[in-house]
Amino acid sequence: MARIAVIGGTGYAGSHIVAEAVSRGHTVVSVARSVPAERIEGATYVEGTILDVPSLVAELEGVDVVVSTVAARGDMLGNVRQNIAALVDRLPGTVRIGVIGGAGGSLIAPGGARLIDQPSFTEEYKPEALEAIGILEDLQADDRGHDWFYVHPAGGFGAWNPGERTGSYRDGGDVLVTDADGESFISGADLAVAVVDEIENPRHSRERFAVGY
């Protein structure tokens, strides 16, 4: 079993990942700016933030995998990319890094354009999407030997569209996953299934992958 830390572990994606990992017997530390009143039994909760990397690194001592679910929105816009880079720089080389990005950086077809570059991509989401893409680019350019994986959720992923746990999903590689009707969706619970599957049985070493139904 792995010792997994989830940064943003009380948020939508993070809380699902914490729950899924605990249910499979992993040791899980949820890191967030505040400890919630309602907690997932079996998880350890600590206060921490990506905005204070030195303190965060101290709290992550001994973990095998660190998964960041922090989105670059609200007061975090413009702060996530640089602090993820600083965190990667400070973590031991033995720690595997996972990042939950956005759909915007995934391709619309093999070898094709990115979703963010399509006219249909909502303008107000572009700053967040571009910062998430920057995090991916930093990981791809990193030559210090860290193993990492980066997940592009489906386009219809979010607390506003929660769905249910089915235990299944499709892996699209770098291409956005859509169904027969062209819709792109995955529930929070099944995104977590994909993440914990990747932690338990790594298939994407220093790679990104898109998930959906």
What pLDDT score does 144 carry?
Answer: 78
Q: What are phi and psi of 212, to 5 degrees?
A: 180, -170
> Is 90 exceeded by the pLDDT of residue 161?
yes
Element (H, E) at 200: helix 188-200
Q: Alpha-carbon distance 91 to 66, whole Å?
A: 9
Confidence bin at 158 (pLDDT 50/70/90): very high
What pLDDT score does 131 carry?
Answer: 98
- Closest to 131 (Cα-Cα) out of 72, 68, 49, 74: 72
> Is 90 exceeded by the pLDDT of residue 37?
no
> Is 90 exceeded by the pLDDT of residue 145?
no
> Is 90 exceeded by the pLDDT of residue 151?
yes
Sorted by where each starts, the structural domains of the chain and their CATH numbers stand as 3-212 (3.40.50.720)
What pLDDT score does 143 carry?
Answer: 84
| pTM across the whole model | 0.97
- Mean pLDDT over residues 158-165, rounded? 94
Distance of CA 175 to the CA centre of its chain: 17
Confidence bin at 95 (pLDDT 50/70/90): very high
